[in-house]
Homo-oligomer: A and B are copies of this chain.
Amino acid sequence: MPTPERTSLAEIVAQAARLLESGGPAAVTMQAVAAAVGVKAPSLYKRVRDREALLGLVGISTADELTRRLTDAGGDLGELLTVFRRFGQERPEAFRLLFASSIDPERLAATSEPVLRATAAIVGSERALDAARLLTSWALGFITMELTGAFRLGGDLDEAFAYGMRHIVGSLTVDQDAVRPAQGS
Protein backbone atom coordinates (compact mmCIF):
# COMPACT_ATOMS: atom_id res chain seq x y z
CA MET A 1 0.00 0.00 0.00
CA PRO A 2 1.44 3.40 -1.02
CA THR A 3 2.83 5.70 1.63
CA PRO A 4 2.39 9.47 1.17
CA GLU A 5 5.61 11.26 0.27
CA ARG A 6 7.06 13.04 3.25
CA THR A 7 9.54 15.19 1.34
CA SER A 8 10.73 15.99 -2.17
CA LEU A 9 13.96 16.19 -4.12
CA ALA A 10 13.70 19.97 -4.28
CA GLU A 11 13.35 20.23 -0.53
CA ILE A 12 16.29 17.90 0.02
CA VAL A 13 18.53 19.95 -2.24
CA ALA A 14 17.37 23.20 -0.62
CA GLN A 15 18.09 21.96 2.89
CA ALA A 16 21.46 20.58 1.80
CA ALA A 17 22.31 24.01 0.40
CA ARG A 18 21.24 25.64 3.65
CA LEU A 19 23.40 23.28 5.71
CA LEU A 20 26.31 23.82 3.33
CA GLU A 21 26.17 27.57 3.73
CA SER A 22 25.82 27.51 7.49
CA GLY A 23 28.42 24.87 8.29
CA GLY A 24 30.53 24.07 5.26
CA PRO A 25 30.64 20.78 3.35
CA ALA A 26 31.30 18.77 6.52
CA ALA A 27 27.90 19.82 7.87
CA VAL A 28 26.13 18.28 4.90
CA THR A 29 25.76 14.78 6.32
CA MET A 30 23.00 12.55 5.09
CA GLN A 31 21.62 12.40 8.60
CA ALA A 32 21.54 16.18 8.99
CA VAL A 33 19.83 16.61 5.62
CA ALA A 34 17.33 13.88 6.45
CA ALA A 35 16.54 15.46 9.81
CA ALA A 36 16.09 18.85 8.15
CA VAL A 37 13.47 17.47 5.80
CA GLY A 38 11.79 15.34 8.48
CA VAL A 39 12.87 11.88 7.43
CA LYS A 40 15.54 9.28 8.28
CA ALA A 41 18.79 9.05 6.36
CA PRO A 42 18.06 5.87 4.39
CA SER A 43 15.00 7.49 2.85
CA LEU A 44 17.17 10.01 1.01
CA TYR A 45 18.47 7.22 -1.18
CA LYS A 46 15.04 6.94 -2.75
CA ARG A 47 15.62 10.30 -4.43
CA VAL A 48 19.37 10.68 -4.60
CA ARG A 49 22.04 8.22 -5.63
CA ASP A 50 24.49 9.14 -2.88
CA ARG A 51 25.99 12.10 -1.04
CA GLU A 52 28.22 13.08 -3.94
CA ALA A 53 25.24 13.22 -6.28
CA LEU A 54 23.39 15.37 -3.74
CA LEU A 55 26.28 17.84 -3.62
CA GLY A 56 26.26 17.82 -7.40
CA LEU A 57 22.61 18.85 -7.37
CA VAL A 58 23.41 21.66 -4.95
CA GLY A 59 26.07 22.75 -7.42
CA ILE A 60 23.60 22.75 -10.28
CA SER A 61 21.05 24.79 -8.33
CA THR A 62 23.83 27.22 -7.43
CA ALA A 63 24.80 27.57 -11.07
CA ASP A 64 21.17 28.20 -12.03
CA GLU A 65 20.78 30.87 -9.37
CA LEU A 66 23.97 32.58 -10.53
CA THR A 67 22.80 32.41 -14.12
CA ARG A 68 19.54 34.09 -13.13
CA ARG A 69 21.32 36.94 -11.39
CA LEU A 70 23.72 37.49 -14.26
CA THR A 71 20.93 37.45 -16.80
CA ASP A 72 18.97 40.00 -14.78
CA ALA A 73 22.02 42.22 -14.42
CA GLY A 74 21.97 43.56 -17.95
CA GLY A 75 24.80 43.76 -20.43
CA ASP A 76 27.29 46.04 -18.72
CA LEU A 77 30.55 44.24 -18.03
CA GLY A 78 31.25 46.08 -14.77
CA GLU A 79 27.78 45.24 -13.56
CA LEU A 80 28.24 41.56 -14.41
CA LEU A 81 31.53 41.40 -12.55
CA THR A 82 30.06 43.12 -9.51
CA VAL A 83 27.08 40.76 -9.43
CA PHE A 84 29.48 37.83 -9.67
CA ARG A 85 31.52 39.10 -6.74
CA ARG A 86 28.47 39.84 -4.63
CA PHE A 87 27.19 36.33 -5.21
CA GLY A 88 30.47 34.93 -3.89
CA GLN A 89 30.25 37.11 -0.81
CA GLU A 90 26.65 36.18 -0.10
CA ARG A 91 27.03 32.45 -0.63
CA PRO A 92 30.71 31.68 -0.14
CA GLU A 93 30.29 27.95 0.43
CA ALA A 94 28.04 27.42 -2.57
CA PHE A 95 30.42 29.52 -4.64
CA ARG A 96 33.38 27.39 -3.60
CA LEU A 97 31.49 24.20 -4.29
CA LEU A 98 30.48 25.40 -7.72
CA PHE A 99 34.06 25.88 -8.87
CA ALA A 100 35.53 22.94 -6.99
CA SER A 101 33.29 20.23 -8.35
CA SER A 102 32.76 19.68 -12.03
CA ILE A 103 29.38 20.79 -13.25
CA ASP A 104 27.34 19.68 -16.20
CA PRO A 105 28.76 21.51 -19.26
CA GLU A 106 25.36 22.68 -20.43
CA ARG A 107 24.53 24.44 -17.19
CA LEU A 108 27.89 26.11 -17.24
CA ALA A 109 27.34 27.24 -20.79
CA ALA A 110 24.13 28.92 -19.68
CA THR A 111 26.00 30.74 -16.93
CA SER A 112 28.62 31.94 -19.39
CA GLU A 113 26.06 33.22 -21.83
CA PRO A 114 25.49 36.73 -20.38
CA VAL A 115 29.24 37.27 -20.16
CA LEU A 116 29.77 36.07 -23.71
CA ARG A 117 27.15 38.45 -25.02
CA ALA A 118 28.77 41.35 -23.22
CA THR A 119 32.27 40.56 -24.49
CA ALA A 120 31.03 39.95 -28.02
CA ALA A 121 29.68 43.49 -28.04
CA ILE A 122 33.14 44.82 -27.26
CA VAL A 123 35.68 42.61 -29.01
CA GLY A 124 33.48 40.92 -31.59
CA SER A 125 32.23 37.35 -31.71
CA GLU A 126 35.59 36.12 -32.96
CA ARG A 127 37.36 36.96 -29.70
CA ALA A 128 34.35 36.82 -27.36
CA LEU A 129 35.28 33.45 -25.88
CA ASP A 130 38.86 34.37 -25.04
CA ALA A 131 37.68 37.65 -23.58
CA ALA A 132 35.00 35.98 -21.47
CA ARG A 133 37.59 33.55 -20.16
CA LEU A 134 39.88 36.43 -19.28
CA LEU A 135 37.16 38.18 -17.31
CA THR A 136 35.80 35.07 -15.65
CA SER A 137 39.22 33.81 -14.66
CA TRP A 138 40.17 37.09 -13.05
CA ALA A 139 36.90 37.45 -11.17
CA LEU A 140 36.94 33.83 -10.02
CA GLY A 141 40.51 34.16 -8.78
CA PHE A 142 39.86 37.44 -7.03
CA ILE A 143 36.75 36.20 -5.26
CA THR A 144 38.43 32.93 -4.32
CA MET A 145 41.33 34.75 -2.72
CA GLU A 146 38.98 37.19 -1.04
CA LEU A 147 36.92 34.37 0.46
CA THR A 148 39.95 32.37 1.54
CA GLY A 149 41.46 35.42 3.17
CA ALA A 150 44.52 35.22 0.97
CA PHE A 151 44.56 39.00 0.53
CA ARG A 152 46.27 39.76 3.79
CA LEU A 153 48.90 42.21 2.74
CA GLY A 154 46.53 45.06 3.49
CA GLY A 155 44.99 47.58 1.13
CA ASP A 156 41.39 48.24 0.26
CA LEU A 157 39.80 45.22 -1.44
CA ASP A 158 37.01 47.22 -3.05
CA GLU A 159 39.65 49.43 -4.55
CA ALA A 160 41.71 46.44 -5.64
CA PHE A 161 38.63 45.01 -7.36
CA ALA A 162 37.97 48.31 -9.12
CA TYR A 163 41.62 48.51 -10.15
CA GLY A 164 41.47 45.02 -11.65
CA MET A 165 38.16 45.69 -13.36
CA ARG A 166 39.44 48.91 -14.90
CA HIS A 167 42.54 47.20 -16.25
CA ILE A 168 40.87 44.03 -17.51
CA VAL A 169 37.93 45.71 -19.16
CA GLY A 170 40.26 48.40 -20.44
CA SER A 171 42.55 45.84 -22.03
CA LEU A 172 39.67 44.59 -24.15
CA THR A 173 39.14 47.96 -25.74
CA VAL A 174 42.76 48.21 -26.82
CA ASP A 175 44.58 46.35 -29.54
CA GLN A 176 47.34 44.86 -27.41
CA ASP A 177 49.62 44.24 -30.34
CA ALA A 178 49.56 47.94 -31.12
CA VAL A 179 50.35 49.09 -27.59
CA ARG A 180 53.81 50.47 -27.04
CA PRO A 181 55.12 49.52 -23.57
CA ALA A 182 55.66 52.40 -21.14
CA GLN A 183 58.89 52.73 -19.21
CA GLY A 184 59.15 51.30 -15.68
CA SER A 185 57.65 52.88 -12.51
Q: Does A170 reach chain B (CB closer than 8 Å)?
A: yes
**What number of copies of this chain does the assembly contain?**
2
How many residues of A are counted as interface, with CB atoms below 8 angstroms from the partner's CB atoms?
57
Complex Cα distance, B170 from A174, in Å, reads 9
A130 and B150 within 8 A (CB): no
Contacts of A108 in B (CB 8 A): 150, 152
Contact with B along A165-185 (1 / 0, CB 8 A): 011101111111001011011
Stretch of A13-21, A31-39, A64-72, A136-144 lying at the B interface: A136-144
Chain A 31-51 residues near chain B, CB threshold 8 A: none
> A155's closest neighbor in chain B, by CB?
B129
Q: Does A112 reach chain B (CB closer than 8 Å)?
A: yes
Complex Cα distance, B145 from A148, in Å, reads 17
CB of A29, distance to nearest CB on chain B (Å): 15
Q: Does A124 reach chain B (CB closer than 8 Å)?
A: yes
Q: Does A123 reach chain B (CB closer than 8 Å)?
A: yes
Q: Does A9 reach chain B (CB closer than 8 Å)?
A: no
B96 and A100 within 8 A (CB): yes
Residues in chain A within 8 A of chain B (CB atoms): 96, 99-103, 105, 108-109, 112, 120-125, 127, 129-130, 133-134, 136-142, 144-145, 148-155, 159-160, 163-164, 166-168, 170-176, 179, 181-182, 184-185
Given contacts A96-B100, A141-B144, 6 further A-B contacts (CB under 8 A): A120-B185, A137-B164, A168-B171, A171-B171, A173-B179, A175-B182
